[in-house]
Amino acid sequence: MPTLFPQLYKAPARPALRFGDSGGEADEVIDYGRLAGAARSLALRIADARRVAVWATPSPHTCVGVLAALLAGVPAVPVNPRIGDGELAHILSDSTPSTVLAAPGDDLPEALAALPRADVPLESEEPGTEVRHPADATEPDENRPALIVYTSGTTGPPKGVVLPRRAIAVTLDDLADAWGWTGDDVLVHALPLFHVHGLILGVLGPLRHGGTLHHLGRFSPGGVAAALEAGGTMLFGVPTMYHRLAEVLDGDGAGREGSAARLASALRGARLLVSGSAALPRHDHERIEAATGRRVVERYGMTETLMITSVRPDGASRPGTVGTPLRSVDVRLVDEQEKRIEESDGETVGEIQVRGPNLFTEYLGRPDATADAFAGGWFRTGDMAVRDADGHYRIVGRKSTDLIKSGGYKIGAGEIENCLLGHPAVAEAAVTGEPDPDLGERIVAWVVPAADGPRPGAEELAGYVAGRLAPHKRPRTVRFLAALPRNDMGKVMKRELSHG
């Protein structure tokens, strides 16, 4: 397979990365020459590492660190910089990185600081030498692991999804095919850099195609407007971000985030607005289209499969669908017996299963979980969908009520329940997702307080989970009960909780 980054050495003066939401000179801009030089220097230093953890702050250092690992052929494990101690301990013992990559001066939590550290440079460490494609560089085999991305499941702690180089190349090329994504595009986003959406699509995408990433540092509608005005051609976001844009577009003039008219004009100027990681509600689609005349394009994917389907920007408007399969991906719907559903009637619901070169290779160190995830070579997504007559898929739900999508993050209910049970004032806990206009789903904790001692406060429990797992896993609502509803088998009846 050809190199993962065929454009890296071609146009050294071209901007590769821009970080910041100043809309002007305060942004940090790194051209391809500087990026390649910095990444090559770091790649040489880490060449013997077995596996590296990357402290994945929203910064150019994360991009250089991950690129260096990919150039060196060393698998990289991106780590959420807001990760709590419990989750960090799990990821480190599970993935056993030999080195941590971080920006010079970044303060690391104790468990990471205990590892050998390689500071990530933003300049070549051999200044003056021209950085060219190294003649002797051998690209690692395409099936070698490139990234290990942690993702929550229905039960237990997060699993490490091992993504080979091939899957990354295939998914990015499939998206280029579907969207006409080229090196002329300037991609704007504010996504976290430790998941597939922000890191693989949002960083490696522009770098593979030779374009520019403009990362805002943090999301704000005003920052999006300024970045698009400054030349952004594409916007990536999770539905929560588009919901917040729609709220501004619906507003009546100049708020803190700038005027609705300015945002509408900036969005109109973009070539492509793409939403993914969760369903974008029809109401938000409609508000954005009404204000800007632009349709948001939805694509559907998963950490284990990378991208599966997308709406075609040049096709008919299909809000509510996630489009048709990407060119390298086989998609099927199956019934409860895992028999293929042939109907494309927009009504017969089945599970989406996926096959193709875009798939992960395994859950790290979990052969049983890996085997369970497949049905005869087809990956079971757990997403339930229907297929329309023209082949468009519409996602209608999920197989498990124990997976919650909040703000585009996947969160396992069991993980939060186990964490809450560690709190001394909690006797029993159950976690569910409830509809939320902003987050899609909101994490709700149902708690039976311990018999002795004071009832814990909702804020305290949220902080407890945020500190051990991650802030986005904290319950947004806590409801106290005398007992959890259980069936004859002793299993908590979650549907009863949500609807009771």
Residues in contact with ligand AMP by CB under 6 A are 151, 196, 276-279, 298-303, 322, 381, 383, 395, 398, 405, 410
Residue 154 vs 265, nearer CB to ligand MLC:
154
Sheet of 306-310, strands arranged across: 28-31, 15-19, 212-215, 186-189, 234-237, 272-275, 296-302, 306-310, 324-325
Residue nearest to ligand MLC (CB): 407
DSSP H helical segments within 96-220, as ranges?
110-113, 165-179, 205-209
Residue 398 vs 442, nearer CB to ligand AMP:
398
Q: How far is CA 456 from the centre of its chain?
A: 33
**For ligand MLC, how many residues bind (rule: CB under 6 A)?**
25
Element (H, E) at 38: helix 32-46
Structure tokens at 410: 């996947």
- Longest Cα pair distance anywhere in the chain, in angstroms? 74
Answer for which of 258, 407, 456, 475 binds ligand MLC (CB under 6 A) is 407
As beta bridge partners, residue 302 has: 306
Least distance (Å) from ligand AMP to the CB of residue 130?
40
Least distance (Å) from ligand MLC to the CB of residue 463?
4
Rg of the chain's alpha carbons, rounded to an integer? Answer: 23
Subset of 234-253 contacting ligand MLC (CB under 6 A): 238, 240-241
298 binds, among ligand MLC, ligand AMP, none (CB under 5 to 8 A by kind): ligand AMP
Strand-strand pairing, 99-102 and 52-55: parallel
Structure tokens at 285: 């689609």
With beta carbons less than 8 A apart as the criterion, state whether 54 and 79 touch.
yes
71 binds, among ligand MLC, ligand AMP, none (CB under 5 to 8 A by kind): none
With beta carbons less than 8 A apart as the criterion, state whether 385 and 329 touch.
no
DSSP summary character for residue 340: B
191 binds, among ligand MLC, ligand AMP, none (CB under 5 to 8 A by kind): ligand MLC
472 binds, among ligand AMP, ligand MLC, none (CB under 5 to 8 A by kind): ligand MLC
Answer for which of 77, 207, 266, 302 binds ligand MLC (CB under 6 A) is 302
Least distance (Å) from ligand AMP to the CB of residue 305?
8
Answer for which of 58, 157, 223, 301 binds ligand MLC (CB under 6 A) is 301
With beta carbons less than 8 A apart as the criterion, state whether 377 and 355 touch.
yes
Least distance (Å) from ligand MLC to the CB of residue 443?
10
157 binds ligand MLC (CB under 6 A): no
Give the count of alpha carbons within 13 A of 6, CB side only. 9
407 binds, among ligand MLC, ligand AMP, none (CB under 5 to 8 A by kind): ligand MLC
| 3 state DSSP class of 236 | strand
466 binds ligand MLC (CB under 6 A): yes
Instruction: Measure Cα distances from 351 to 143, 342, 354, 397, 435 in Å.
Output: 27, 13, 10, 9, 22
Report residue 164: phi and psi, to 5°. -80, 165
Residue 146 vs 478, nearer CB to ligand AMP:
146
381 binds, among ligand MLC, ligand AMP, none (CB under 5 to 8 A by kind): ligand AMP
Report residue 83: phi and psi, to 5°. -65, 145
Residue 122 vs 322, nearer CB to ligand MLC:
322
276 binds ligand MLC (CB under 6 A): yes
Stretch that binds ligand MLC, among 192-200, 250-258, 290-298, 378-386 (CB under 6 A): 192-200
Q: Which residues bind ligand MLC (CB under 6 A)?
A: 82, 191-192, 195-198, 219, 238, 240-241, 276-277, 301-303, 407-409, 462-463, 466, 471-472, 474
